[in-house]
Amino acid sequence: IRDLTVTGVQSVLFRSPPAPEVQREKAVALWDFVSTNHSELGMLVNDVVTIYEKSSAEWWFGTVNGREFGFFPPTYVRLLPS
């Protein structure tokens, strides 16, 4: 919120527009993936995964259904069309 004052006009408060939401790639889980430690992202078949980073060819970083975050193997998912 910012205060815009113009000479001879009453002060008016304007709310800045919200920042545009970053469009992230999404994928669907093809198989269950059971995490073996706290940094991995467990998922069930058909879970929707939001991808935050394609860290390497072996591990990507994302979240399942907006819940937990962690690394997962990209071979377990299929990218959804944008």
| Residue 66: per-residue pLDDT | 78
Q: Which residue type occupies 6?
A: V
Q: Is the pLDDT of residue 42 over 80?
A: yes
Using CA of residue 63, residue 68, residue 70, residue 73, what is the dihedral sign? Answer: negative
Is the Cβ–Cβ distance between 51 and 60 less than 8 Å? yes
How confident is residue 5, by pLDDT bands cut at 50, 70 and 90? very low
Average pLDDT over residues 25-53: 96
**Cα angle, residue 44 at apex, residues 23 and 64 outer, rounded to 5°:** 25
Stated pTM of the model: 0.72
How confident is residue 82, by pLDDT bands cut at 50, 70 and 90? confident
